Structure 1
Amino acid sequence: MPLALDVLAQVPTRREAVREEYLRRVIPQFTGHSIGEVQWSTAHGDFHWANLAGPDLLVLDWEDWGTAPVGFDAATLYIYALQAPKTAARVRRSLAHILDDPAARVAELLVCAQVLQAADRTSFYATLAEPVRCHLQTLASRSA
């Protein structure tokens, strides 16, 4: 049974959640990583814990939806969970079919870059910055 993110990724749109010029600038600037080709799919664009409700899944705050790098929503949920390692591990396992796709590496790098870019302005991102730096080391060793 496909997950909501799998279904959403297939929705055709011309809307942009993330601009390619932006990600090509911030990923190297804030992560030190380079990227090659970017694969795109449709994303919510702001898929984090505050925009999810239950007990049945309800996704809130749709004004940013559009195209983004493959895996962007899954990467956002995962990266935002890094402060809670057990939750992050569960998210990683649950969304492995998305996050383990090599194309999703760009999305993980982008979310990391966004966190680091905002770390000096927002306390949530400041607190998340160190787990993100550790995760970037993991990504570097995985791609080496």
Structure 2
Amino acid sequence: MRAHHARAAQALDVQTEAGGEFWGWAGRTLGAPARTTDGAPAWLRLVTAPEDKASGKLWDGNLDAQQVFGDLDGRRPALLAVHDAVDDGTAYRAELSARVEQPVLSDDPVLQRDLPLPDSWWEDLAGTLAKVAAVNTDRVAVRQQYMDRAIPEFVGTPAPAVTCWTTAHSDLHWANVTAPLRILDWEGWGRAPEGFDAATLYAYSLLQEDVAARVRDAFPVLGSPAGLAAEATVCAQLLQTVARGDNLPLEDRLRDWSEELRRR
């Protein structure tokens, strides 16, 4: 993987910098800081997949996001260039993006500490997500079939009717945001029930009551009939991860949330 990352840097005419190497889930991605020929700071990310699976929503997510959103008024790191290669049945895509200098707000998607953020940050987040929600796309982040199956199984209630489908980032947790606001990792964006991003951020805030309450204040759709489908979907998704042995610290809070959802 490092050898292919180095080849991608050469193909894109950038120089990687020592230190700061970041491996993604299961070694599927490798990122590192880089600089362009004019000295601009950048980030070079390499993603890999079997050649016959190198397509579709996740593979093209960042490229699609660049075409639709651009840098989202500075809230999304712009994708500067892409380089594709295939070697012995494995596809490699290198994505060169503008570097985000601010660290993410949490190393873990689940927020483990109190996080006082100014009102302006929350206003920026709400405004940015509203812009995302208004975009038309045929990309799908959440499927009705999944909701019909998973919500009864993991939340214990029939899937609520979706009153409005909107566009969502779909992976809005604390390891994907910075202050000042930048939103990272646009692989999975697409259509989802209204309020999906807000519900996702709320779920990953459940261990911090003050922050969870602030998420609800910032996004009034949470707790409303319009947001019920999104909340039930996110709760089901995370309880499903708990069943696989992941996100175990959230289990009790998720079960409390599912009980509240069943009463609505």
Q: TM-score, normalised by structure 2?
A: 0.50
The 3 A distance-change label for structure 1 pair 92 and 44 is: same
Give the whole-Å Cα distance in 2 for the aligned partners of 1:33 and 1:105.
11
How far the C-alpha of 1:61 sits from its partner, in A, is 0.3
1:66 has 2:184 as partner: no
2:244 corresponds to which residue? Answer: 121
**Residue deviations 1:66-104 (CA, integer Å, cap 9, x gap):** 0011110000001111111111011111112x2244121
2:231 corresponds to which residue? Answer: 108
Pairing 1:1-144 to 2, within 5 Å after superposition: 3-38=127-162, 39-55=164-180, 57-96=181-220, 98-123=221-246, 125-141=247-263, 143=264
Q: Give the number of equivalent residue pairs.
A: 139
SS in 1 for 2:243: coil
Higher fraction of strand? 2
How far the C-alpha of 1:17 sits from its partner, in A, is 0.8
How far the C-alpha of 1:122 sits from its partner, in A, is 4.1
SS in 2 for 1:106: helix
Q: Structure 2: any 5+ residue segments left out of the alignment?
A: 1-122
Give the whole-Å Cα distance in 1 for the aligned partners of 2:175 and 2:131.
21
SS in 2 for 1:68: strand
**Residue deviations 1:11-57 (CA, integer Å, cap 9, x gap):** 000000111111111001101011242231000011111111122x1
Give the whole-Å Cα distance in 2 for the aligned partners of 1:20 and 1:78.
21
Give the whole-Å Cα distance in 1 for the aligned partners of 2:160 and 2:205.
26
Higher relative contact order (CA 8 A, sep 6+): 1
The 3 A distance-change label for structure 1 pair 127 and 101 is: same
SS in 1 for 2:167: strand
Between Structure 1 and Structure 2, whose CA radius of gyration is higher? 2
Give the whole-Å Cα distance in 2 for the aligned partners of 1:11 and 1:100.
24
The 3 A distance-change label for structure 1 pair 126 and 22 is: same
